[in-house]
């Protein structure tokens, strides 16, 4: 762990040297999905971003506890304390038990995440499984004097909090801006101030999901679950809290206020936020109705899609941009990613066909330099596009080695193979998507090698007709055969 890893902290608006609170350990909390619909491309971005963070921290030798919640209650229609519960609403539409809806979409979410190569988090707590912890949090905030009960609901007193601590430190807003921007009709007459947010909400008769509490039957406010569950599994203070940029306000701002109000000090050291995926410059989101689900991408079944895109293409597309930049969706951009990924994985597979030579021009130093460059990029706030550009440079070298325009020593080749394996597989989490798996690939490769051996024999016997026929047939099938001084080489020509 002699790395100087720098992480952009939204709180300080600067890159900070990463120093975990407990040496050798990292606690990371990431806001997970609200399970009332299929995951779309917008959900893939935080999942892949924090998967990269998780993988890299583990690679550096940290013991990482990665907690990502499942929101199965309480996240209301307009990101605020008004409207109907999203999950209960969907349940009514589909005539299902609310938990049946939540389970269905949780399963679908897990399938999509596995397809995208995202490692499962260490703990995946459900909001409904932590009502007691959330009630305890509400009680603490009430006891500290930063909340009040009103007509069976409990609200956070933002103005009072703002006098003692500052509200808005994460988003850089001051209370007046928030008041001016706030047009919440819900809770009018119950709240002291329109900016106050619900910690506990009284259940109306039509609410299916409800729990008993000291304040009457109800359900927790959306912001409570992350504070309560983060603290339960990672402690009063932990290292990283992540999520999409759209969560900075109000969700994460409210989380900070709840933590400080309940325990007197903040909970999170580094706040990390990924940027949005846009369609024609507009954020992709369920509430905006312009989203494309991940399964639609995988099947190509959507009017905006020219073709199906594999999960690894989506992963590569997302990793090709730095997580804090916006990414605009287009078929052209995805097709470019698909080609790029094929080029990378093809070269990566070709390395098996490189024949090393003692005294080759490239040695272990070449692999070491590549490794250092990739580390440098990752240490600079997880700069995956730079890592990918270094890997493309390595691809060019591999192709030269295959074409015997470059030479490498046996130990240099082994070091290069290992380095690529670490960055391509372990850290970027990319894998080959061959239909029949790699065994099949290997068998095909061996068959092509065998044909080229037959061709070499035919040539040696001056049987030009056979030799040319083999080359032409292979070309028709998409293999590009090149004759070099040391014999023939081949690669799969991409059109
Ligand atoms: Zn959250």
Q: What is the pLDDT along the chain (495 residues), one digit of tens a residue?
A: 578 999 999 999 999 999 999 999 999 999 999 998 899 999 999 999 999 999 999 999 999 999 999 999 854 443 334 456 777 777 767 677 888 889 999 999 999 999 999 999 999 999 999 999 999 999 999 999 999 999 999 999 999 999 999 999 999 998 888 887 776 666 678 999 989 999 999 998 878 889 999 999 999 998 999 999 999 999 999 999 999 999 999 999 999 999 999 999 999 999 999 999 998 778 777 777 788 999 999 999 999 999 999 999 999 999 999 999 999 999 999 999 999 999 999 999 999 999 999 999 999 999 999 999 999 999 999 999 999 999 999 999 999 999 999 999 999 999 999 999 999 999 999 998 754 445 666 777 888 888 988 998 998 899 999 999 998 998 888 888 888 877 888 887 754
For residues 218 and 354, membership in a common domain is answered with no
Same domain, 415 and 469: no
Helices 253-263 and 224-234 pack at an angle, to 10 degrees, of 60
CATH number of the domain at 375, please.
Answer: 1.20.120
- Quick check: is 395 in a domain? yes
Domain that holds residue 405: 339-427
DSSP assignment, residue 36?
Answer: S
Give the phi and the psi of residue 28 in degrees, each rounded to 5. Answer: -135, 125
Q: Are residues 388 and 442 in the same domain?
A: no
* Residue at a domain's end among 283, 301, 318: 283
Residue 317 lies in a domain: no
The verdict on 471 and 420 lying in the same domain is no
Residue 445 resides in a domain = yes
How many CA atoms lie within 13 Å of 259's alpha carbon, on the beta-carbon side? 24
Question: From ligand 1's centre to the CA of 222, what distance in Å?
Answer: 8
Residue 14 belongs to some domain of the structure: yes
Residues 269 and 372 reside in one and the same domain: no
**377: CA distance to ligand 1 center in Å?**
28
Domain assignment present for residue 372? The answer is yes
Instruction: Name the domain boundary from 283, 308, 329.
Output: 283
| Peptide bond just before 250 cis, omega within 30 deg | yes
Q: 342: burial class by Cβ within 10 Å (0-12, 13-18, 19+)?
A: middle
- 354 Cα to the center of ligand 1, angstroms: 49
Judge whether 156 lies within some domain: yes
Nearest Cα to 417, choosing from 479, 376, 356? 356
Domain identity same for 214 and 351: no
Of 263, 216, 272, 282, residue with least CA distance to 244: 272
Calculate how far, in angstroms, residue 49's C-alpha sits from the geometric centre of ligand 1: 16
Note the pTM of the prediction, 2 decimals: 0.86
Q: Are residues 149 and 270 in the same domain?
A: yes
167 shares its domain with 39: yes
Containing H/E element for 385? Answer: helix 384-402
- Quote the ligand 1 centre to 226 CA distance (angstroms): 5
In a domain, 334, yes or no: no
How is residue 100 annotated by DSSP? H
| Same domain assignment for residues 357 and 275 | no
Q: What CATH number should be reported for the domain holding residue 135?
A: 3.40.50.620
Ligand 1 centre distance from Cα of residue 241 (Å): 9
Question: How far is the C-alpha of 338 from the C-alpha of 336, rounded, in Å?
Answer: 5
Cα 81 to averaged position of ligand 1 atoms, centre (Å): 15
Residue 124 lies in a domain: yes
Same domain? 187 vs 126: yes
Domain co-membership, 356 together with 228 = no
Tally the domains of the chain. Answer: 3
Do 90 and 176 lie in one domain? The reply is yes
């Amino acid at each position: 762990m002699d790395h100087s890893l720098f992480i952009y902290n939204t709180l300080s608006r600067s890159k900070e040297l990463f120093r975990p609170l407990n040496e050798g350990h990292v606690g990371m909390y990431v806001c997970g999905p609200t399970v009332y619909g299929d995951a779309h491309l917008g959900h893939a971005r935080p999942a892949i971003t924090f998967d990269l963070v998780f993988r890299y921290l583990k690679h550096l030798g940290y013991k990482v506890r990665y907690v990502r919640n499942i929101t199965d209650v309480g996240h209301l229609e307009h990101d605020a304390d008004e409207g109907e519960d999203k999950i209960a609403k969907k349940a009514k539409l589909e005539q299902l038990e609310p938990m049946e809806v939540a389970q269905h979409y949780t399963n679908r979410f897990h399938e999509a995440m596995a397809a995208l190569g995202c490692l499962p988090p260490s703990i995946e707590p459900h909001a409904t499984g932590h009502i007691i912890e959330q009630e305890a949090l509400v009680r603490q905030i009430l006891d500290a004097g930063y909340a009040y009960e009103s007509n069976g609901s409990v609200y956070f007193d933002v103005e009072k909090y703002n006098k003692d601590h500052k509200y808005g430190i994460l988003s850089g807003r001051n209370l007046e801006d928030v008041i001016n921007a706030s047009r919440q009709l819900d809770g009018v007459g119950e709240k002291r101030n329109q900016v106050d947010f619900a910690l506990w909400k009284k259940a109306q008769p039509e609410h299916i999901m409800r729990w008993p509490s000291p304040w009457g039957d109800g359900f927790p406010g959306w912001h409570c679950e992350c504070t309560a569950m983060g603290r339960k599994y990672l402690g009063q203070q932990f290292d990283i809290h992540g999520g999409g940029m759209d969560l900075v306000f109000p969700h994460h701002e409210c989380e900070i206020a709840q933590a400080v109000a309940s325990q007197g000090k903040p909970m999170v050291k580094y706040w990390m936020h990924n940027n949005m995926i846009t369609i024609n410059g507009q954020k992709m989101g369920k509430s905006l109705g312009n989203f494309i689900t991940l399964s639609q991408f995988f099947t190509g079944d959507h009017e905006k899609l020219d073709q199906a895109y594999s999960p690894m293409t989506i992963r590569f597309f997302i990793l090709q941009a730095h997580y804090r930049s916006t990414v605009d969706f287009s078929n052209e951009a995805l097709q470019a990613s698909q080609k790029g990924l094929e080029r990378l994985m093809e070269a990566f597979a070709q390395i098996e066909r490189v024949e090393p030579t003692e005294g080759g021009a490239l040695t272990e130093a070449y692999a070491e330099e590549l490794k250092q460059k990739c580390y440098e990029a990752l240490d600079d706030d997880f700069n995956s596009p730079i890592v990918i550009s270094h890997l493309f440079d390595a691809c060019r070298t591999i192709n030269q080695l295959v074409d015997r325009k470059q030479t490498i020593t046996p130990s240099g080749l082994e070091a290069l193979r290992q380095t690529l394996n670490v960055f391509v597989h372990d850290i970027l989490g990319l894998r080959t998507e061959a239909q029949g798996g790699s065994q099949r690939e290997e068998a095909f490769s061996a068959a092509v090698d065998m044909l080229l051996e037959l061709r070499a024999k035919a040539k040696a016997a001056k049987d030009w007709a056979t030799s040319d026929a083999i080359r032409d047939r292979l070309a028709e099938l998409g293999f590009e055969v090149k004759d070099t001084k040391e014999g023939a080489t081949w690669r799969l020509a991409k059109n």
